[in-house]
Amino acid sequence: MDARTRLEQLYASFAPDVRAYARRRIHAEAVDDVVADVFVVAWRKIDSVPEEALPWLLGVARKVVGNQLRSAHRRLALTERLGDQPAAAAAEVESGEVLRALASLSPRDREVLMLIAWEGLHQREAAAAMDCSPPVFRVRLFRARKKLEHALRQEAADPQPAVEGTRTIAVFDKRGDLS
């Protein structure tokens, strides 16, 4: 099969999954850019894309989303340093104890949990998406679950309203809808 046909098949098969993944992690207006960037990388590395392409594509998407978030953060910081009007604050999502507990975790711990819980990947596939070995991923998953459990216990013992100035992550269901 030639490279173009392979890319077309990858896009037809996995673009909805990559789009749903991006929708759960980044502002809706940037989702199309993430999907396009992921498949540009797939085109450039078409000979390196494994047969089980979804974990690989989600790993690329994770890196693209990270780059976009860092870029947005740098733009915001530059705007603030230059004294321009601050960008309009994104609407904060009130989602209760679980969301606050998830928000208290590191980005890597959240990603580990989300790959398993929301993306429905097996540990081996999630390890490929995180660019680590399956044993390393299992350790990360174990630790992330323990941290989430601890955060939920703390939240139950001392519920706190969202603090102004903190960032809240949004949780979406498998269809990409806000839950």
The Cα 103–Cα 22 span in angstroms is: 18
Of 108, 20, 5, 122, residue with least CA distance to 63: 108
DSSP-derived 3-state class of residue 145: helix
Identify the CA nearest to 144 among candidates 169, 117, 173, 174: 117
Most confident segment among 92-96, 111-115, 118-122, 162-166: 111-115
Between these two residues, 74 and 174, which has the higher pLDDT value? 74
- Looking at the chain, the whole-number percentage of residues with pLDDT higher than 70 is 74
Q: Specify whether domain 96-157 bears CATH 3.30.565.10.
A: no
Segment 61-117, tens digit of pLDDT: 999 998 888 877 776 665 555 443 333 322 232 346 777 888 889 999 999 998 888
**DSSP designation for 52:** S
3-state secondary structure 133-147: CHHHHHHHHHHHHHH
The 3-class secondary structure across 78-107, one letter per residue, is HHHHCCCCCCCCCCCCCCHHHHHHHHCCCH
Fold of the domain built from segment(s) 3-81: Rna Polymerase Sigma Factor; Chain: A (1.10.1740)
CB 7 within 8 A of CB 42: yes
* C-alpha atoms less than 13 angstroms from C-alpha of 168 in its C-beta half-sphere: 20
Residues of the chain with CATH 1.10.10.10: 96-157
Ranges of CATH 1.10.1740.10 domains, the chain: 3-81
